[in-house]
Amino acid sequence: MTQIEDICEKLSKLGLSKPGVQHEQVDSVVAWEAALHSLKTSGSGSLPSSNYMLTKSLILKPKLPKGADMILVFVIAKADSSVSMPALGKNLKLKDLRFANDDILTSVFNTAKGSVSPFALSNVPSENRSNIKVILDEALLSDSTADLAFHPLNSAYTIFVSPETLKNYLNETLGAAGYAVIDLPKLAASAPQSKHSSPAIRPQEKASGEQSTETAGSTRPGLEVGKLEDFSRWYQQILTRSEMLDYYDISGCYIIRPWAYYVWQTIQEFFDAKIKSMKVKNCYFPMFVSGRALEQEKDHIEGFAPEVAWVTKAGSTDLDEPIAIRPTSETVMYPYYSKWIRSHRDLPLRLNQWCSVVRWEFKNPQPFLRTREFLWQEGHCAYIDQASADAEAREILKYYKQVYEELLAVPMIDGVKSEKEKFAGGLYTTTIEGYIPATGRGIQAATSHNLGQNFSKMFNIVVEDPSATEKVAGETPKINVWQTSWGLSTRTLGVMVMVHGDDKGLVMPPRVSEIQVIIIPTGITVKHTQEDKDKVHKACNALLDSLLKAGIRADVDLRENYTPGFKYNHWEIRGVPLRLEVGPKDLLNSSVLSVRRDTFVKQSYPLENIDKTVQQLLETIQSDMFAKATRERDAGVVMVSNWNDFVPALDNKKLCLIPWCNTSECEDEVKDRSAKSVADDVPQDEKAPSMGAKSLCIPYNQPTNPPIVPGQTKCIQCGNDAKVYGLFGRSY
């Protein structure tokens, strides 16, 4: 095996001065990033590099004529660069490029999975190096100040090498054979895409970018594309293959299948109980709204008008006036609030409805995140004073945060939206913001608005002032009520998938998974008798019974004609939190083998008290998932105190906390200056995963080290006095 001392010696000759660091074993790029981040923030020993990119090294093999000398392709790429094997093969004039078998890692490179790095090239006898085509991702050279992070020895040890050092190393090691620098994502994007292999019924499919495509030649089990390889294709695949969702023959509309709907129903039950405890009552208003009512509040309708779907015909009859489908229900409901609220004794009026709304967005639909129809709840309350409305908006936000953190195991940052980003027509908007590590983007997870008195003025929702002591012009003075509105949608499901899913499929938090435990009979071979098999099946059923009795949502997969391996894969794609394997050997030991979906850690447990063991294990998985997601999120949010670090941090998939003047003008500037340079022929879309960074929120939990010092701390964009820390980022 390559020894770290050898490599360090070699690198130090080439100019490497930074020491390597030990950290916890990592099994994914995201975990790697989190591990480095925690080193950075922990007191003990800071990270040798403050600006770095993670890398991946791939060893590929083409199909060759029999007897031909072996040729290998060694790809050194930025961790999140897409690599299209067909396109690369075509570029290199090599057929059927695939991942090389593990034994090649050992026999040729004297290394193993998890510790492949360019420095393994040193282990190849120099006479054989000319058979290795080395490809260097252009992205690695894009920022000469950013170190490149590698695992040369194992996945618990990272070294940092500057691009210059890497190039020097490659030149020295490869000599005349040299290496090629290629823009791998661009190559992948230009690749002809193979046809969709599953028989989709999509006769009217029109939206671009929705069609799922597969990378030919990839052999990854479950999913055919990695999360960091091509995130948007990974997202499509994970949703359809886990049977969470299916595409529909009207663009921007999707079918929410039972595996996803269960999660939504769990969220409904949780949140419905919370709001009932606040005395909010459920109701149902019509989905239709007249044009007149819709247009009553001007700012409000301006925000929605381009997306409103209009019914103009019923049967073969044209309607006298077109009727809109609600994009949200303020203007549907508030005329009736005006009617129902006659006195301060009718306050507070607290209503909620579970329904679907329609926003006919034309560009870039995205399952769960951005769909033409979506399910949500919308709460609408009216109070006599601002304090009550303030308090309620915050209380609801707290419950929203609980939905994400306690059910979906996704950490949230709560705060207030800027003036520019608040709900149109409202006073202010409180929000919880999530973070998607794989793309480095922020995502608005739910909002709760204090509408102030704006709508109550438009819709004339007034009561006599109960504290008035005398009449004015013969009338008791009137007060316009204070209102709130707040909504949580099926976007929740998309965030959960994006945060927890991995290259094998979904990873479901136990609290929202329809099946928490899947029992699979295993270890039965041709040597076993039918009686042995029956015994195992009987034991599986007995185990199922005891788990069900304990209130655990368990199931058993006794399907014939399927191998255990097939079943593992089937339930892994669906993200079932815990697998219990029961085989003849386990029965001899009165035990069962558990495999966690989140970590793949295997552990044997006695059958005695298995229900309690499993219950505890599920709780552990739930809290470990939240802890991991929190680590990754913490690693993804950086404090930036100087403009020059801002765009590099965004490009490095970070959200940034910046001292900010809190003006809309400055916000616009931030957005413009942080926009990626995009080729002119790519259509721009205001609401697409934003190219420029937006303000996500002004977090309630403001950094204190250093704090904003009035008159002293400056906005990093405009240099005027900073008022707050703003959370900025590219976003969904």
- Residues at the contact surface with its own copies, assessed by CB under 8 A: 199-201, 203-204, 246, 248-250, 253-258, 261-262, 264-265, 281-290, 292-293, 305-317, 321-323, 325, 335-336, 338-340, 345, 351, 355-356, 358, 360, 362, 372-373, 375, 559
Nearest to 452 by CA among 429, 426, 430: 426
| Least distance CB 396 / its own copies (angstroms) | 18
Please give the backbone phi and psi of residue 324, each rounded to the nearest 5 degrees, phi first. -90, 155
| Least distance CB 306 / its own copies (angstroms) | 4
| Least distance CB 10 / its own copies (angstroms) | 56
Q: Where are the alpha helices (DSSP H) in 562-663?
A: 564-573, 584-588, 610-636, 643-651
Task: State which residue, 356 or 599, has the beta carbon closest to its own copies.
Answer: 356
Alpha-carbon distance 260 to 245, whole Å? 7
Contact of 278 with 395, CB cutoff 8 Å: yes
| Least distance CB 210 / its own copies (angstroms) | 14
- Please identify which residue in the block is written with the tokens 């093999």: 61
| Least distance CB 333 / its own copies (angstroms) | 8
Give the tokens for residue 355. 């329904």
| Least distance CB 328 / its own copies (angstroms) | 15
| Least distance CB 618 / its own copies (angstroms) | 21
Alpha-carbon distance 722 to 717, whole Å? 10
Task: State which residue, 173 or 338, has the beta carbon closest to its own copies.
Answer: 338
Residues 6 or more apart from 271 whose CB is under 8 A from it?
377, 399, 400, 403, 488
Are β-strands 428-436 and 554-556 bridged in parallel, bridged antiparallel, or unpaired?
A: unpaired
C-alpha separations of 6 from 11, 126, 174, 200 in Å: 9, 16, 17, 54
Task: State which residue, 206 or 676, has the beta carbon closest to its own copies.
Answer: 206
Look up residue 405 and give its DSSP letter.
I
Beta strands in 661-712 (DSSP E): 694-699
Task: State which residue, 180 or 311, has the beta carbon closest to its own copies.
Answer: 311
Task: State which residue, 314 or 679, has the beta carbon closest to its own copies.
Answer: 314
- Please identify which residue in the block is written with the tokens 């990974």: 234
Task: State which residue, 311 or 678, has the beta carbon closest to its own copies.
Answer: 311
Task: State which residue, 440 or 521, has the beta carbon closest to its own copies.
Answer: 521
Coil, strand, or helix at residue 288? Answer: strand
| Least distance CB 260 / its own copies (angstroms) | 8
Look up residue 332 and give its DSSP letter.
H
Nearest to 36 by CA among 124, 216, 157, 197: 157
| Least distance CB 310 / its own copies (angstroms) | 4
| Least distance CB 290 / its own copies (angstroms) | 6
Alpha-carbon distance 725 to 658, whole Å? 5
Task: State which residue, 44 or 284, has the beta carbon closest to its own copies.
Answer: 284
Q: Angle 610-636/29-41 helices, nearest 10 degrees? A: 70
Task: State which residue, 81 or 212, has the beta carbon closest to its own copies.
Answer: 212
Task: State which residue, 5 or 318, has the beta carbon closest to its own copies.
Answer: 318
DSSP assignments along 460-521, one per residue: T-EEE-TT--S-BTTBPPEEEPEEEEEEEETHHHHHHHHHH-BTTB----GGG-S-SEEEEE
| Least distance CB 323 / its own copies (angstroms) | 6
Task: State which residue, 82 or 513, has the beta carbon closest to its own copies.
Answer: 513
| Least distance CB 470 / its own copies (angstroms) | 20
Are β-strands 147-150 and 157-161 bridged in parallel, bridged antiparallel, or unpaired?
A: antiparallel
Alpha-carbon distance 235 to 213, whole Å? 11
Task: State which residue, 99 or 285, has the beta carbon closest to its own copies.
Answer: 285
Task: State which residue, 176 or 314, has the beta carbon closest to its own copies.
Answer: 314
| Least distance CB 552 / its own copies (angstroms) | 16
Contacts 24+ apart (CB under 8 A), 144-149: 145/51, 146/51, 146/52, 146/53, 146/648, 146/652, 147/18, 147/49, 147/51, 147/52, 147/53, 148/52, 148/53, 148/55, 149/32, 149/36, 149/49, 149/52, 149/53, 149/54, 149/55
Nearest to 78 by CA among 150, 7, 168, 145: 150
Task: State which residue, 1 or 355, has the beta carbon closest to its own copies.
Answer: 355
Residues 6 or more apart from 374 whose CB is under 8 A from it?
356, 357, 359, 368, 489, 490, 491
Nearest to 652 by CA among 135, 15, 57, 145: 145
Alpha-carbon distance 128 to 125, whole Å? 6
| Least distance CB 565 / its own copies (angstroms) | 18
